[in-house]
Amino acid sequence: MSAPLPPNSTIGILGGGQLGRMTALAAAALGYRCHIYAPEADSPGMQVSAAATVAAYDDAEALKRFAASVDVVTFEFENVPAACLDILAPLVPCRPGVQALRICQDRLLEKKFLAEAGVPVAPWRAVTSEAELEAAVAEIGLPAVLKTTRMGYDGRGQAVLRKPEDLAAAWARLDPKPLILEAFVPFAAEISAVAARAVDGSVAVYDAVENRHTHHILDYSFAPARLPQAAALAAKAGVASVAEKLDLVGVLAVEFFLLADGTLLGNEIAPRPHNSGHWTMDACAFSQFAQHARAVAGLPLGTPERHHDAVMKNLVGPEGMKRWPSVMEHPDVALHLYGKASAREGRKMGHVNRVLPLGSLATMSDEEICRGI
């Protein structure tokens, strides 16, 4: 199927979180309905969608019924089991497809893939036993970062190894195996870039942003990143190349480390709208969610041009929710809440975007940019 989905068609979304919610809202603006499939009832995506299936990701019968009720399927988080798409793909177009999902679920495949797509990565070794871990540390040196290859997010499933005595405890703690050992990157900044790719292969790339984390959770994204021009272009070229090589239809993000000498190293690929792309909702005519809905529906993409500079701040846990509603007092701040009932520690409850005139970020201090949010 390559013709655009006609209005009132249904986009099926695997996953019930905020990324699906914001995709569903953007899809609704284009005249589509969404059907959310997730194990949790009353999930953020379900609250704004026409239909919902509450079922496990390994419930083959529920998946088949879901496939019969939608015109295309996408996913909003990359830990959906690949077997889920194996069941759906013969029945309904899946965008992105299972291949992109498999690569991005596995840090080993992901690292190889980044390098093949022309994005350099820090030295790494696959580690399947404690003896291999010792050998890998001997080659790569310390400090190093030991990670699970699957199911890691927001800093979970990893340990920084600083001295030889750290190895045994980290090996025992991290699960599931196998693991990957990466050289510790003494980065100057963390950068990411988001691209959308349409059914016809056209690609739209947003400006790269700088990300700041607190307790391993994204806290702020500054758009655009204040980067040397060459690094900004390399980030954009890297994400476009990854989208093409994955033959992706939809939106994806690549996270990079920026070194002090301006070199960029690829860290992770997320084959879906990304938290570091939320600024596009208020600073671009076409947000990452609008692009994702357009790509998945087979429509042409909109321009990724930025009409404002922006800073995005996540509202995390009870502390984040305390900022509501005072953030609303600023006429340049847009609020996006995800409809989650309980503000547990570390849970992403919403975000705000402050929009600023083009060029402002280069001339303002971080303190001025973030005042009041």
Please identify which residue in 177, 213, 215, 344 interacts with ligand AMP, judged by CB under 6 A. 213
Return d(Cα 188, Cα 362) in angstroms, integer: 17
Indicate whether 276 belongs to the interface with ligand AMP (CB under 6 A). no
Q: Select 267 or 287, whichever has its Cβ closest to ligand AMP.
A: 267
Q: Select 54 or 259, whichever has its Cβ closest to ligand AMP.
A: 259
Please identify which residue in 4, 123, 152, 339 interacts with ligand AMP, judged by CB under 6 A. 152
To the nearest whole angstrom, how small is the minimum distance from the Cβ of residue 195 to ligand AMP?
A: 18
Please identify which residue in 104, 114, 122, 231 interacts with ligand AMP, judged by CB under 6 A. 122
Please identify which residue in 106, 182, 282, 309 interacts with ligand AMP, judged by CB under 6 A. 182
Indicate whether 185 belongs to the interface with ligand AMP (CB under 6 A). yes
Tokens of 99: 């291949």
Which of these segments, 5-13, 40-48, 128-136, 181-189, binds ligand AMP (CB under 6 A)?
Answer: 181-189
Please identify which residue in 110, 210, 268, 309 interacts with ligand AMP, judged by CB under 6 A. 268
Put the strands of the sheet holding 179-183 in their side by side order: 124-127, 179-183, 144-148, 158-161
Say if CB 342 and CB 317 are below 8 A apart. Answer: no
Indicate whether 106 belongs to the interface with ligand AMP (CB under 6 A). no
Q: Select 133 or 185, whichever has its Cβ closest to ligand AMP.
A: 185
Count of residues in the chain: 373
Indicate whether 267 belongs to the interface with ligand AMP (CB under 6 A). yes
To the nearest whole angstrom, how small is the minimum distance from the Cβ of residue 268 to ligand AMP?
A: 5
Integer distance in angstroms from the first to the last C-alpha of the chain? 45
Residue nearest to ligand AMP (CB): 185
Enumerate helices (H) and strands (E) in the chain, giving the number of each: 12, 17
Q: Select 65 or 213, whichever has its Cβ closest to ligand AMP.
A: 213
Q: How big is the site for ligand AMP, counted in residues (CB under 6 A)?
A: 13
Indicate whether 215 belongs to the interface with ligand AMP (CB under 6 A). no
Return d(Cα 190, Cα 212) in angstroms, integer: 7
Say if CB 100 and CB 126 are below 8 A apart. Answer: no
Q: Exposed (0-12), middle (13-18) or buried (19+): which is 201, by Cβ within 10 Å?
A: exposed
Return d(Cα 183, Cα 163) in angstroms, integer: 13
Tell me which H or E stretch contains 334. Answer: strand 333-337
Return d(Cα 274, Cα 278) in angstroms, integer: 7
Say if CB 123 and CB 147 are below 8 A apart. Answer: no
- Chain positions contacting ligand AMP, by CB under 6 A: 122, 145, 152, 155, 182, 184-185, 190, 213, 216, 255, 267-268
